[in-house]
Chain A
């Protein structure tokens, strides 16, 4: 299964980025191959709808779980419609976050954490 994590960098040593829609990268980790890749978040450039566009991209990649810091209402709506499980409130390095996730330490998020536009201006 594929897990996506919002990231401030391109490797497992990078940190979880608190902003789902406006983070610079996503790390996509495959639990079967135990390998990962990074993808650029093109939505950073979006005037509006960054969260929506990012969520659309994540769902198009066939990701099953999404780990992030904060997620806004629009992105939450798209990921939920795509039946992607959301785990927010994560911090620390990507590898730490993935460890915690595998151990079942993260609880699934049931609603958006922040108001829309949280990532704008940050």
Chain B
């Protein structure tokens, strides 16, 4: 069983569209949407939720006004500006360190376990999907991402699926790290813009920091041939394999609007490139 994650550094390069395409092309797989902050893959897969679970992570301080004597010790010790003028706690700013709770002379502050999101196991027309939704303003520590990955892996092992296809999140922080550790391959989607290249460099540094094998796809490459060439040279210089290049196509937006993966929506240069890319990746990883 092999795990593949699709990441990009920069948002909007086409991660989710490509993850959706892989979901349609790859037989025998479990799909995991690890972009828990702004999950979108379900919009292409029309999931039927079979299991829904609450995710609890971290604590938030809460003041029991009944016991508060107004001494303000909480306010003095809090480094995150989370104590309001009336000594109640701002849950958005609270980082759950419990300093105020421990320091309060009246024991008026309790730490409440946070419900920070939900995770789901669903069935889709393209196979099982594990996905999640992080609550607003919650700390995206990567723990929910880890949980989604763990469940996807369990289903794959249990039902003997060959692949786990993971839609990753933008950035380079904890949630991205949690979505890439231990995978068999990280596929980085780069768009031919200076921003895209800049951000891809940073996320590839992260994959290298964690010793994850990484390959590249250049998406919408015809929007700037010069920068595409630059990316190709840069990849060669860093010993990075380019799995393929995909043209820009308005059909992609149309397929998203229809709620379909591009593979199901039409047959064009984009779908041919994606088929070739998957063929290449499958050959290299299955061996």
* A residues adjacent to B (C-beta < 8 A): 46-48, 115, 117-122
Contacts and interface: CB of A to CB of B under 8 A. Distances in A.
A121 B58 contact: no
Contact of A121 (B57, B180, B209, B211): B180
Given A115-B209, A120-B177, A121-B180, 9 more contacts: A47-B141, A47-B142, A115-B181, A115-B210, A115-B211, A117-B177, A121-B178, A121-B182, A121-B183
B150 interface: yes
B219 interface: no
Interface in B170-196: 177-183
Contacts of A115: 181, 209-211
Given A47-B57, A47-B58, A120 B211 contact: no
B121 interface: no
B202 interface: no
A38 B143 CA distance: 25
Interface in B28-78: 57-58
Contact of A120 (B57, B58, B139, B146): B146
Contact of B150 (A48, A117, A118, A121): A121
A120 B174 CA distance: 10
Nearest to A48: B141
Contacts of B183: 121
Nearest to B144: A47
Interface string B202-227: 00000001110000000000000000
User: Which of A46, A47, A122 has the most chain B CB within a 10 Å cutoff?
Assistant: A47
Contact of B153 (A46, A117, A118, A122): A122
B145 interface: yes
Given A47-B57, A115-B210, A121 B141 contact: no
Contacts of B182: 118-122
Contact of A117 (B57, B58, B139, B210): B210
A-B interface, 4 closest residue pairs, ranked by CB to CB distance from nearest: A121-B149, A47-B141, A47-B143, A117-B181
The interface centre, meaning the residue of A117, A119, A121 with most chain B CB atoms within 10 A of its CB, is A121
Contacts of B142: 47, 120
A120 B141 contact: no
B181 A121 contact: yes
A122 B149 contact: yes
Nearest to B145: A121
